[in-house]
């Protein structure tokens, strides 16, 4: 996928639509980096499963749609961990 995207990176797109957007949950993959390198005035991410395993899966999706909205990946994971610990305390 990343190789196919390289031929698209020189265009300025009106809209980038990403179906099955959960495929970019890992911000370190070549595929995710290639998609985030595309230039577009508007981005739409569609997925039926935005959170597959962990709340931190959301960070990469939001970083594609609105860079910086949720801070860095490290900051967002720390935020998720705080809420995870609060939830554990409430349950016990």
Spelled out in words, what is the top-level CATH class assigned to the domain 2-91? alpha beta
pLDDT tens figures, 37-85? 999 999 999 999 988 888 888 999 999 999 999 999 999 999 999 988 8
pTM for the predicted model, two decimal places: 0.79
Show me where the domains of the chain are located. Answer: 2-91
Question: HEC states along the chain?
Answer: CHHHHHCCCCCEEEEEEEECHHHHCCCCCHHHHHHHCCEEEEEEEECCCCCCCCHHHHHHHHHHHCCCCCCCHHHHHHHHHHHHHHHHHHHC
Q: What's the CA gap between 38 and 50, in Å, rounded?
A: 21
Q: Which of 1, 11, 61 is nearest to 36 (CA)?
A: 61
């Amino acid at each position: 996928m990343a190789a196919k995207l390289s031929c698209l990176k020189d265009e300025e797109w009106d809209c980038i639509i990403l179906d099955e957007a959960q495929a970019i949950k890992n911000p370190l993959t070549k595929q995710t980096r290639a998609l985030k390198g595309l230039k577009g005035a508007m981005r739409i991410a569609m997925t039926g499963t935005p959170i597959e395993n962990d709340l931190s899966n959301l960070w990469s999706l939001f970083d594609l749609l609105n860079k910086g909205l949720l801070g860095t990946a490290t900051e967002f994971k720390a935020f998720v961990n705080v809420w995870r610990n609060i939830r554990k305390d409430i349950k016990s």
